[in-house]
Structure 1
Amino acid sequence: MKNIKSILLSILVLMMMFPIQAFGHEGEERSETSTFSLVVDYSMIAASVITILAIITVVVLNNKQKAFDVKKKEGQIRKKHYQKLVKISKWIAIFGIVALLISGAIKMFNGDNGSESSGEFMHIHGLGFTNDGSEIYVPAHDGLKVFRNGQWSGAAGEKHDYMGFSMVDDGFYSSGHPAPDSSMKNPFGIVRSTNLGEDLKTLGLYGEIDFHAMDVGYNNHAIYVFNPQENSQMDDTGMYYSLDDTKTWNKTGMKGIKGQVAAIAVHPNQEEVVAVSTNQGIFLSKDFGDTFEELYNVPTSALSFSNQGTLYAGSVSSKVELTQINTENGERTSLPLPSIKEEDAISYIAINPQNEQQIVISTFKKDIFSTGDRGGSWSQLVDEGKSVTQNKEEVSSSSLESDTSEGQSHAMDHSGMNMSGSSDVPENFKLQKSPSIQLAQKP
């Protein structure tokens, strides 16, 4: 029993160090957002264990003291020594209880009050409006962010890492990965929510695969994905679609598509109509993706259909462009943009389903802009991942003009898709000093 003091102090040190160093989660990217939460959770565990061990030690030592013969000098010495150990154990127990209370308070505060991180965006994995057009949802790697009444806040539900996020008329579909403290399987396959993230319903390929390139028709709920690897429902890579919430999948022909895929958009009402953008242009299919015709031969990083069926594209020619495209006759209209940072481009586009005048765009450098008059003026909502609600940049509506040019030739040289969700600016969508552009895949 002479070494009890040393043992208890060693346990104290090791238990506080062990959780931080020994516990891990899947993937380097996830650890960026989960470290603080893990430290708090495991500190609570460590404090609980320390407290329990200290209390047990106190009880054991007190019981042992009863057996000492205090009439003898040896018994008196041993009892005095045990009393010191009991005192030390009591202080350790008190320390553990205090640490447990502090950790619990921190966890409760961070769990109830998400305002600290609600306006920060580590990554941006999509954009979308609620059906009534009153709220903008952004999957931001550490859960959904919501813009309502001029302010950002966290959405209900767990802070999952949503990928392939697609808003629809009654909620959203998504792929991705569960939150660090979630009991859900990783990866998601495809999930659906009808209460904006408060609950998730698992659909196909749950626990098997993560789709980064995915879109769902706003009203018809036709699901289109680019499958990166063989799985239990898809025996090959390529483009697939499902019209029954992933119960069955059909592979598309993808005939006519040139270049590396960057984005996909599904018509809101016509389930057979799908658009795909690449580093060589925009391609439209009206037969479930079997054959495609070229709409625009400019590298395009972002696509989205409005609820009225108009296609919007974020492209890069000699400048960053936001283009409205009539898919029936191919007519294109260029919309004015706010000042996009150097070597940046549009990553996602969302159009208010109740008001096509309102458009929201994000960029690879984590800026988000909103316009209520088709680009006549823009408000910046997020600047490099930080929320901004007051900064407005006016864009003259005189810059709105028809654009029927065929574009310019571009240098294209890269291999494979890279849809990791990184917010780094892709090389293939950076503006160059010369008219020629070097291309790379959208993350």
Structure 2
Amino acid sequence: MGLTLIGTALITLIIFVWFIATRRQIESLKNVKKQEEREKRLKLSKTLSYLKWGLVASFLVVVATGALSIMGNANEQDIYLEHTHGLGYSPDGKRIIIPAHAGLRVYEEGLWKTPEGEKHDYMGFSPANDGFYSSGHPAQGSTLNNPFGIVKSTDEGKSIKSLALDGETDFHNMAVGYTSHVIYAINPQPNSKMSSAGLYYSKDEGNSWTKSEMNGITEEPTAIAVHPTEPSILAIGTPTAVYFSNNFGNTFEKVTSAGQATALFFTNIGELYIGGYQNNAYLRKMDVASKKSEELKIPELEKDAVAFFAQNPTDEKELAFATFKNDVYLSTDGGSNWTKIADEGKTISNTDDTGKEKK
């Protein structure tokens, strides 16, 4: 938009200079009795008339382009994250994608953007290596059924495909294997494919579902994550602990008791990140095999906690998390340092004077 504005302004300046020069030429032709000067003056008068209308038109284009540029900058500055419902990366690792009640928001190269597509209220947002899966509710005016059931997008929300249970169920607790694409969903009530409430999984894009026994868990789940490549491995968080299953959720083993588990995320190599709250917010990384964990340094979160966490699929040192108060933090060094890119929903650009992302 900036280059267009500069180009149209330059054209307007050229026409203006031409207009002034032509008018001065006409004024210099004072001897109207000489046929040669009279004909030349007539031609210049026609040219002046064309230049006048060209000047008016180009000026209007400059005004319109400037207005659009200002509006565009305002829209970029006014991007807001209302009720953050998830967080993930695009498959190429170039963009952080956040569903924020009224559609997706994208962070790329230090700038926030609102991508193309209807502004759906996504819930249970689950990134995969070819797009994302989700539940939730359609945007106002959409032809999609409400609630979504389970949908999938392979073009970052420009279009979505209904997979199952559209118009029946909204799944808030849902997770998908990043590569395996197995879908786990905690069903709140019976529907046409699930005979009762509880944990279900599907290995065929939602066509058929199997209920997990969930032995070992007696509390209400607060978070869920699925191993990226092993469809039988998942973790569930509760108000007091984190549980691990390697048999499709039929039996669970308690792997840690450290207050409420608020966010879970399996990495590409199967490590488990745990966000939680026990007197203070924390973020830990656990080796699932040894059950040993290390605590990561995160910014102080006052009466807040990690709500959603993600790791860049192309760079294991790049991490991001969102909090319940709609703060968003980004680290490019494995969690040693964090940059705040949203403050209570107000997005923060992270670019230098040249418009490039700060490193």
Flag whether TM exceeds 0.5 (same fold): yes
What are the within-5 Å matches in structure 2 for residues 41-440 of structure 1? 115=75, 119-298=79-258, 299-340=260-301, 342-390=302-350
State the alpha-carbon separation in 1 of the partners of residues 305 and 288 from structure 2.
23
**Cα displacement (A) at 1:117:** 7.6
State the alpha-carbon separation in 2 of the partners of residues 262 and 159 from structure 1.
26
**Cα displacement (A) at 1:329:** 1.3
The change in CA–CA distance for 1:327 and 1:234 in structure 2 (over 3 A counts) is same
The change in CA–CA distance for 1:220 and 1:179 in structure 2 (over 3 A counts) is same
**Cα displacement (A) at 1:113:** 8.9
Is this contact kept in 2: 1:380–1:389, CA < 8 A?
no
State the alpha-carbon separation in 1 of the partners of residues 325 and 272 from structure 2.
23
**Structure 1 runs (4+) greater than 4 angstroms displaced:** 111-114
Q: Any idea what the Cα deviations from partners look like across 1:208-232, whole Å, max 9, x if unmatched?
A: 1110000101000010000001100
Is this contact kept in 1: 2:76–2:112, CA < 8 A?
no
The change in CA–CA distance for 1:390 and 1:153 in structure 2 (over 3 A counts) is closer
State the SS of the aligned residue for 1:261.
coil
Higher relative contact order (CA 8 A, sep 6+): 2
State the alpha-carbon separation in 1 of the partners of residues 270 and 122 from structure 2.
25
CA RMSD in angstroms, aligned pairs only: 2.0
- Show structure 1 runs of 5+ residues with no match: 1-107, 392-443
State the SS of the aligned residue for 2:251.
coil
State the SS of the aligned residue for 1:225.
strand
State the alpha-carbon separation in 2 of the partners of residues 189 and 116 from structure 1.
31
Is this contact kept in 1: 2:263–2:275, CA < 8 A?
yes
State the alpha-carbon separation in 1 of the partners of residues 78 and 202 from structure 2.
34
The change in CA–CA distance for 1:327 and 1:273 in structure 2 (over 3 A counts) is same
Match of 1:26 in 2: none
Is this contact kept in 1: 2:111–2:350, CA < 8 A?
no
Q: Any idea what the Cα deviations from partners look like across 1:47-74, whole Å, max 9, x if unmatched?
A: xxxxxxxxxxxxxxxxxxxxxxxxxxxx
Q: Any idea what the Cα deviations from partners look like across 1:72-101, whole Å, max 9, x if unmatched?
A: xxxxxxxxxxxxxxxxxxxxxxxxxxxxxx
Percentage of identical aligned residues: 43
State the alpha-carbon separation in 1 of the partners of residues 235 and 307 from structure 2.
16
Is this contact kept in 2: 1:118–1:152, CA < 8 A?
no
Q: Which has the higher helix share?
A: 1
State the SS of the aligned residue for 1:316.
strand
Match of 1:418 in 2: none
State the alpha-carbon separation in 1 of the partners of residues 318 and 291 from structure 2.
22
State the alpha-carbon separation in 2 of the partners of residues 293 and 118 from structure 1.
45
Letter matched to residue 286 of structure 1: N
State the alpha-carbon separation in 1 of the partners of residues 160 and 349 from structure 2.
30
- Show structure 2 runs of 5+ residues with no match: 1-67, 352-359
Match of 2:6 in 1: none
Match of 2:354 in 1: none
State the alpha-carbon separation in 2 of the partners of residues 313 and 118 from structure 1.
32
State the alpha-carbon separation in 1 of the partners of residues 129 and 315 from structure 2.
14
Is this contact kept in 2: 1:282–1:296, CA < 8 A?
yes
Is this contact kept in 2: 1:114–1:154, CA < 8 A?
no
The change in CA–CA distance for 1:174 and 1:113 in structure 2 (over 3 A counts) is farther
Is this contact kept in 2: 1:258–1:280, CA < 8 A?
no
**Cα displacement (A) at 1:308:** 1.9
Q: Any idea what the Cα deviations from partners look like across 1:318-354, whole Å, max 9, x if unmatched?
A: 32110001111111011110121x2111100011111
State the SS of the aligned residue for 1:377.
coil
Is this contact kept in 1: 2:104–2:115, CA < 8 A?
yes
**Cα displacement (A) at 1:317:** 1.8
State the SS of the aligned residue for 1:115.
helix
State the SS of the aligned residue for 1:312.
strand
**Cα displacement (A) at 1:286:** 0.1
State the alpha-carbon separation in 2 of the partners of residues 121 and 297 from structure 1.
32
The change in CA–CA distance for 1:114 and 1:158 in structure 2 (over 3 A counts) is farther
Which piece of structure 1 moves more, 184-193 or 111-120?
111-120
**Cα displacement (A) at 1:382:** 0.3
Q: Any idea what the Cα deviations from partners look like across 1:11-38, whole Å, max 9, x if unmatched?
A: xxxxxxxxxxxxxxxxxxxxxxxxxxxx
State the alpha-carbon separation in 1 of the partners of residues 350 and 90 from structure 2.
23
Counting matched residue pairs gives 283
State the SS of the aligned residue for 1:369.
strand
What is the TM-score of this pair, normalised by structure 1? Answer: 0.62
Q: Any idea what the Cα deviations from partners look like across 1:255-296, whole Å, max 9, x if unmatched?
A: 112422111000000000010000011000000000000111
Letter matched to residue 295 of structure 2: S
What is the TM-score of this pair, normalised by structure 2? Answer: 0.76
The change in CA–CA distance for 1:374 and 1:212 in structure 2 (over 3 A counts) is same
